[in-house]
Structure formats: structure tokens, C-alpha cells
Structure 1
Amino acid sequence: MKPLLLSTAIATCVLAGCSMEPTYQRPAMPVPNSYPSNTANTASPTAPMDAAEMDWHAFFRDPVLQRLIDIALINNRDLRIAAAKMEEARADYGETRASLFPEIDLQGYAGRQRLPAMSQQPANGLLGPIENNRNTATSFNTYQVQAGMTSYELDFFGHQRAIAHESGKLAEATATDYQSARIALIGEVANAYLALNADCALLQLAQQTEAAQQGHADVMQKAYHDGGVSEFDMRRSQTQVDAAQVDVQGMQIRIAKDMDALAVLIGQPVLPDYAKPRPWQAPLLTDVPAGLPSSLLDRRPDIVAAEDRLRAANADIGRARAAFFPNIALTGVLGALSGGLSSLLHAGSLAWTAGVSGSMPVLDWGKNENELSASKARYGGAVAAYEGTIQEAFREVADSLAVRDHIQPELQAQQALVDQSQRVYAISQVRFKDGMDDYIATQDAQRSLYAAQQKLVSLELDQAVNQINLYKALGGGWREAPARQSPSPPVAQASVRHGVNALR
């Protein structure tokens, strides 16, 4: 018993031994300390909390959109895959970490043997040999029970700890990968919902245009029969009706595709009520605060995951370095061995064995050296991946800020164009009725108005999508509000139906 306890004590003590891992130093962020100069980057003393701390429920204010996101977080299959990978990585880390401690096994054996005369059975390496020095063959029973550890590595040089450290960092990276997938899903659901709303608004415009063009075509048809206009003018007015009908059918196809895309994201069919037009200017989103330094990028989950992988690569260098040093292992077994089952637990049947084994590379033809070089190369690649992730994140934020700076003046100008186009169209109708202009001028005014209205909806969608992209780029939605829980799918579906009715 004492050798087993001594072996366990020694194994525990060496867990705090030396490590071959290089001292980790975070690379400097390869981006400026602030984003390119723009109006959105001006710090405000009353600005709300940064995007990383803003719960997505506070950012997406539309109740229907909130419930859609809740459903997606429960049902989306891609997010389930990411969650399964996270759990798998955690289990792998637990398995790797267990190798740092002695594994105690309990074994039992019962058997009958026959040995020829003057023979000796080789030792089994655990509880000693069984001999037979008689002149005649003999048969006997063997009963054995033993508990102990076999070949437990004394981690003097941090080989096992480096492997466990690497596995732990990879598990953390997988966990933040899940958070990245979660943020991406929230953004995809929001973008799909906004695209559906925009297409519904465009369908409503197309239907209004079709009705207006049909009314004008009816007037031209009657005038043609009365001899007031030529066939050319009558046919031309009908082409505008046909073009408007093409737009209506095209928008219905787009809405059907939007519904299908949203159904895949939330993992269940979308209620038909979503295909009905609803107010487009509803306050859907909260503005992202201005005045954020680029240092906040290191709170994005994809950047955190990239650094975790960098730390894992650093630990892998320690594993490769430890391979140059001796490998020392302990064996300790305590048990009982007897020829009869009734005497197996008697004091005289006690048996034990303890030993130390060691190995050290002498001639490996450059295997360990090349493995160390490969590990250092992987670390260099991880550094480049980490820096590249930061640069890409910086670009995403800078692009979103640039769009936010300039899209608002563009929206104001486009709204002014819509207002002027509506006025021009109204005047052209009056002039046509008074006989001051032909119908061609009225058609041109109506087409200009329709194009301006379409562009305005498109710009409003671009602005909303850019807000979502900026929120995501700043790491928003990573930290869930602790007091809120996602509803079960039946409750969520009922809530969506209630939210749609509330918007009517």
C-alpha cells in the first residue's frame, strides 16, 4: 500500500513542475487606435453603453422581430450544430485534463491453468510469475484482484499540461465560435425580416402604380374609341400597365422567397400574415452609440476565439519542446493472488508491485525537431489569423460608420425627390385633364415618382441593414440579458401571431 500512496503523492507534486511553453504575449492590434475621422465617431458624454454590452432585445425594438429571433435561437439547425461542437470541445478538454491525474483501475481474474513438468510461466508484469518446478504436469486455479495505476506519466517537463492547456483554449475558442454563430443568426433573422418588410412595401407601391396605370389606360382606351387619341398613344399606355403587372408579380416572387428564407432561419413555417404590407417606418432598431474606440474590437467573439486559438498554438510549442526530454512513468498495483477463492482475501494472499519506467529520444532522425518547427509555424499562422481577424473587424466597423455618416443626407435628399415627384405628378394630372399636356407627360411623371419611391424604400432598407451590421461589427448581442429566458416554441409561435396582429 505504501508504494502506491508514495507514487500518487509524487505524481501530484510534479503537476506543479516546469513548463516548456513560451511566455504568451498578445500581439499588438494592427489597426489605428480610432476609426477614420467622421461625424459618427465624435464621442458623446451622454452616449449609452457600448454595443457589446447592449442586449439584442434592447437593440431590436420591434416585438415581432424579437419573437422571431427567440424562435430562431431555439430552432435554427446551424446554431444547434455550433452548440454540439461546443459541447464536444468541452468534453474533449475534460478528457484531456483527466490525463493529468493518475487513473486507478480495479481488475479481477479467475482461471484454471495446466503447466507441463519442469516449466515456469513468464511473469505478467503485475503480480509476479507462477512457477512449476515439479517433475509432473500440474493443474491449478488462479484467483486475482488488484487495484492500481499503470504507466502514469510524471509530467516533469509539462508535456501533458501543454496538451491540456491547448485543448482548453480550443474549447474556449469553440465556445466563442458558438457566440459568433449566435450573433450572425440574430443578424440574419433581422435582415430577412427587414427585407420582407421592404419587399411588402415595394409590392404595395407596385400595386398602387398598377392601379394608377390601369386607370390611365382605361381613359386612353375610351379616348381611342372616341377618336381622340391615336392607336400609338393607346398602346403605349397599355404597355405601362403590363410593366406594372410584371413588377407586381416579381415582388410577389421576392416575398415568397423572403418567407422561405425566414422559415429556414427560424426553423419552422412562417405565418402567412407576414406577407401582408405593414408600416415600414416603424421604430425597429435602436441607434448604436457613437464615440467608440477601436480597442473595443477585442470584445468581439470572433476576435476572442482567434486569440484563444493563438494561445492554444503557443501551448502546442510547449508540447513539442517537452518531447525532447525524458518521459518518466510510474506503475503501482496492489492486490491479492490466491489459488483458492476462499483464501483470496486472507492476509497471506496480499501482493503488490511498483516500478518506474523511463524513455528518452536518442536518435529520431529529426522527428522532434521538425515537429517543433511545425508547431512554431502553426503559431505564426495563428498570429496572422488573429491579426487578420482584427483588421477585418476594423474594416467592417469603419465601413458601417462611413455608410452611417452619408446615408442620412442621401435619405433626406431622396425624400425631397419623392415629395417633388409627387407634386409634379399631381400637377401633370391637372394639366392633362385641362388639355394643357398630352398623356405622355403624365406617364413620365408617374414613372419618375414610382422610381423615386422605390429608391427611398431601398435606401431605408440599406440604412436599417447598416445599423444591424454596425451592431454586429461592434460585438453587440454577445452578452445576453440574464433575467430574460427564451420561450418554448409553442409559446413563441403564439407570441409571433399576437405581435403580427398588434402591428395591423
Structure 2
Amino acid sequence: MDFGSQGPGAAARASRVSGARAVVAVAGMYLAGCASLAPPDSTPPAPVANAYPADASGPVGADALQAAALAWRDYFTDPELRGLIGLALRNNRDLRMATLRVEEARAGYRIQRAAQLPAFGVEGQAARSRVPGDLNASGRSLVSGDYEVALGLAAWELDFWGRVRSLKTAALETFFATEAAQQAATVNLIAAVADGYVGLRELDERLRLARRTIASREESFRIFTRRVEVGATSKLELTQVEALLTQAQALGAQLERERAAQAHALALLVGAPVELEAPPPGSTARALPALPALRAGLPSDLLLDRPDIVAAEHQLRAANADIGAARAAFFPRIALTGSFGSASAQLGGLFESGSRTWTFAPTISLPIFNGGRIRANLDLAWVRRDMAVAEYERTIQGAFRDVADALSAQHWLFEQARILQATVDAQTERARLAGLRYENGAAAFLEVLDAERDLLAAQQQLVQTQGALLASRIALYAALGGGPLDARAADAALPPDPRPGQSP
């Protein structure tokens, strides 16, 4: 067809059709390309045994629960402990920092995702200029104007080699890793608060036993003081009773100091003032919080249940994506820049017929010499990928050890607590019989002193072991990855946003 015979309107239409076809062709090439140069995502085999050690046997009965299906509110049933954990999830600053890192990584991903899309903007320009007559061919001064309004396309990279997409994938995997790290921080915080609370209640029970012993020995000291005054016993026995009393008083002062430090540490974890007063003297025994037994499962379960392993896996995938971006830097980079709008020498003629203007400026750049920077960048990406592999394997090994340590501690502490309970029963009977023998003149008072001293030590050791047994169950819950977390906990850890009009 002869466009020259159809007039300027037909030629303009033909030009638009040709331009549209060019755009379609470029879009087709773009969609057909975009091949990622990143290595395939793969994780190395777990560098641990297929089962936990024989000395780390855990409960396998029907009563044993699976940690992955047990939310923390279902595992920690003590009302006071639940309240402390809830406060910690809202106020702990370390958890708040981990949650803010998630938001930081989310924003970084959104920035990289936006790089895949063209960026349009409206541009406007107005200029007036005067040229003197001696610089003009006509010999007269000339005043001119230039007015433009256009919709502009910034340098949009056609991602034929997947560089931009690899960067977006790396940002997405980093976001996932940060989110998993925040979940790991949440589980660790829950376990730390529970462990601190159990330690506090353990010290309360030890303090209650010490106070009861101090009261008993104060009464004995009063009785023996009276006996010395009336000449019914020797001053040596009074001195022995006094020594036993001061030992118990020193233990009580030590436990008071340890309890205060434990309460301060727990308040720091919670992140807010808490009322954790010691039980008053003469109060009855308060049982330590009960925790059900957990089923450990297989080491392979940790790959899905432990959030820190999940985070390390996402970091490995991000390192793979970075390799793809570094490889793509060796290939040509094609970018599109253009604009479409109206221009006129007079402001009044800016939008009149015939004032349309457009530009289309594709660019291509190919690195030739850069001093080895691109090659070094690729080598760096590979090294960081190898580091991510080592970190992934180290995290798995650490998780395996955490579970094995918690299982073995739980097994042997249970056995130790059973033995110590029998020891306390025997020492209680020994102290009773020693007192009877002394009252009947069949034994020296030193035998009574030894029996009471050994009884107090056994009682203290039993309470410590019972607290350590509960701590091992808390450690096992955390080592197995904890249970499902409430999404509201992450939102509660965020500070209020003072910025108005923030878009999601």
C-alpha cells in the first residue's frame, strides 16, 4: 500500500500501528526471556543421625504429646505463668526488634518487587528565553517559549537474564528468613519466661523450707538457752545449736538474694513491672507448675518444626538467588526510556491539535572491562552461598544436640528426683529417731545436729532437682520448635505507628 498517496492522517495511523507492533514484539521477547541464571534450590542432607542417641530416650507412651501441635497456652497451664508470657510477648524489647526486622525485610522485598515493573511519571516544563540581536541571523532580539507536559517512562530494565527477578527472589527469601527468625525469638522468649518462672518458684519453695528450719532452730536455741541457765545441759550443746541456727540463717539470706535476682531477671524478660512477691513466712507449700511429657519424634521432623532451621534454609535460597543476579551481570543490560505528551512554544497552544510529542530511547550496555569487579562479585556470591550451607548444617546439628541434651537431662533428672525423694524420706526418719535417742540419753546431741543438717541439705537438693526437671521439659519444648504461634503476638510486639496515612 502506498502510504504517500493516503495523506498525512493515514501515515500517522500507520506510524502508530508500527509502534504498537514494536511494543508487542518487545513485550513478547521480554516474556519469552527472563530465564533465571540462579543454581537450582537444593538443601544438603542433614548432617545428623537418623535417631537420637540411646541415652536421650524420651517418653513414647500414649500420654506423650507432640510439641509441634501444642500451642504454648495449652502446654503452660499455670495462670500466673500464662499472664507473664502474655506480658512478655507484648513488651519484650528483643522480640520487638525481631518483629521490626520482619517489617524491614518486608519493605525491602516490596522495593525489589517494584523494580520489575515500569515506573511512569508525569513531567512538566516551562521555559522562556531571549536571544540578543547580535547572536541572531535576523539581527533582532528573539524571545521564545517552550512548554511541555508528558507522561514519562523511566529506565525500565528488560530482565532477559533474570537479574531483577533474582534480586526480588533473594529479597523474598530474606523476608521469609527474617519472619522465621522472629518466630524462633518468640519461642525462645516463651521458654525463657517459663524457665525464669520455674526458677522463681523453686527458690520460693527452698526459701519456705529454710524459713521453717530457721523457726525450728530458733525454738531449739531458746530451749537450750533455758536449759543452760538452769544447768540442765552444757554450754557446748548450746553452741552447737547456735551454729546450726546461724547456718540456716545464712542459707535463708542467700536464698533471699538469689530470689531477688531471679525476680529482676524475669521482670527484664517480661519488659514491664510485675508483682512477684515472695510467699510470707509460715505459708504452705506451693507446688511447682506441672508440665506434660513431650514426644521427640525423629530428627528429620526438626527440619520443618524448628524456625531457626527454616530461617537458615531461606537464607540458603537467598544466597542461590544472589548467584543468579551476579551471573546476569555478565550479559547485556537493556533498558527502555520514553515519554508521550504535548509541547508548544505558547502556553495556550499546549494541548491544541498537532502539539503531540513522544520519545522512545532503548539503551543497551555490555560490560567490557571493569577490573574484575563482576567476576569478584560472582565469587563473593558463591562464597556466601557456601557460608549459608555451613550455617544451615550447623543449625541442624545444634538443634539435634538441643533435643538430645533435653531428653537425656529429662531422663536422668527424673531418676535423680526419685532417688532424692527416697533420701529425704530416709533423712526425715533418721532425724526423728536421732531426736528420740537424744531425749532418752542414748545418743549425743551431735548426732541430732548431723541428722538435721543432712535433712535440710537433702530437701534443698530435691527441690533443685525438681526445678531442673521442669526446666528440661521447657528446654525440650523449645528445642522441638514449640507449637503454633498466635499471629496476634507478632502484631502486639510492634510499637504503635505514629505516622498518619501509612499505606500497607
In 2: Cα distance, 1:242 partner to 1:137 partner: 110
**Secondary structure class of the residue paired with 1:20:** coil
**Secondary structure class of the residue paired with 1:347:** coil
**Equivalent of 2:108, from 86, 89, 92?**
92
Equivalent residue, structure 2, for 1:204: 208
Equivalent residue, structure 1, for 2:302: 297
Q: Relative to structure 1, is the Cα distance of residues 168 and 214 closer, same or farther in structure 2, using a 3 angstrom cutoff?
A: same
The residue type paired with residue 97 of structure 1 is R
Q: Relative to structure 1, is the Cα distance of residues 67 and 134 closer, same or farther in structure 2, using a 3 angstrom cutoff?
A: farther
Confirm or deny that 1:401 pairs with 2:407: yes
Shift of 1:9: 7.6
Q: TM-score, normalised by structure 2?
A: 0.88
In 2: Cα distance, 1:133 partner to 1:351 partner: 28
**Equivalent of 1:437, from 439, 443, 455?**
443
Where do 1:222-261 residues align within 5 Å?
A: 222-261=226-265
Shift of 1:238: 1.2
**Comparing 409-418 with 333-342, which one deviates more in the overlay?**
333-342
**Secondary structure class of the residue paired with 2:360:** strand
In 1: Cα distance, 2:403 partner to 2:227 partner: 58
The residue type paired with residue 382 of structure 1 is A
In 2: Cα distance, 1:486 partner to 1:354 partner: 47
Confirm or deny that 1:194 pairs with 2:210: no
Shift of 1:219: 2.4
Shift of 1:116: 4.7
**Comparing 338-347 with 163-172, which one deviates more in the overlay?**
338-347
**Secondary structure class of the residue paired with 1:26:** coil
Where do 1:67-82 residues align within 5 Å?
A: 67-82=83-98
Equivalent residue, structure 2, for 1:102: 118
Q: Relative to structure 1, is the Cα distance of residues 432 and 372 closer, same or farther in structure 2, using a 3 angstrom cutoff?
A: same
**Comparing 340-349 with 62-71, which one deviates more in the overlay?**
340-349
**Equivalent of 2:79, from 63, 70, 73?**
63
5+ unaligned residues in a row in structure 2: which ranges? 1-15, 494-504
Q: TM-score, normalised by structure 1?
A: 0.88
Where do 1:224-373 residues align within 5 Å?
A: 224-273=228-277, 279-290=285-296, 292-299=297-304, 300-373=306-379
Deviations, residues 234-274 of structure 1 (Å, cap 9, x unaligned) = 22321222221122222222222222222222222112446
Shift of 1:222: 2.0
Residue identity over aligned pairs, in percent, reads 35
Assess if the C-alpha contact under 8 Å between 1:146 and 1:333 holds in 2: yes
**Secondary structure class of the residue paired with 1:114:** strand
In 2: Cα distance, 1:278 partner to 1:359 partner: 82
5+ unaligned residues in a row in structure 1: which ranges? 120-131, 490-504
Q: Relative to structure 1, is the Cα distance of residues 49 and 433 closer, same or farther in structure 2, using a 3 angstrom cutoff?
A: closer
Shift of 1:6: 5.4
Confirm or deny that 1:218 pairs with 2:222: yes
Q: Relative to structure 1, is the Cα distance of residues 272 and 406 closer, same or farther in structure 2, using a 3 angstrom cutoff?
A: closer
Q: Relative to structure 1, is the Cα distance of residues 408 and 322 closer, same or farther in structure 2, using a 3 angstrom cutoff?
A: same
In 2: Cα distance, 1:487 partner to 1:323 partner: 39
The residue type paired with residue 23 of structure 1 is P
**Comparing 323-332 with 402-411, which one deviates more in the overlay?**
402-411
Q: Relative to structure 1, is the Cα distance of residues 214 and 486 closer, same or farther in structure 2, using a 3 angstrom cutoff?
A: farther
Assess if the C-alpha contact under 8 Å between 1:152 and 1:329 holds in 2: yes
The residue type paired with residue 365 of structure 1 is G
Alignment RMSD (CA, Å):
2.5
Q: Relative to structure 1, is the Cα distance of residues 487 and 308 closer, same or farther in structure 2, using a 3 angstrom cutoff?
A: closer
Q: Relative to structure 1, is the Cα distance of residues 374 and 272 closer, same or farther in structure 2, using a 3 angstrom cutoff?
A: closer
Assess if the C-alpha contact under 8 Å between 2:44 and 2:389 holds in 1: yes
Q: Relative to structure 1, is the Cα distance of residues 345 and 436 closer, same or farther in structure 2, using a 3 angstrom cutoff?
A: same
Equivalenced residue count is 473
Equivalent residue, structure 1, for 2:149: 145
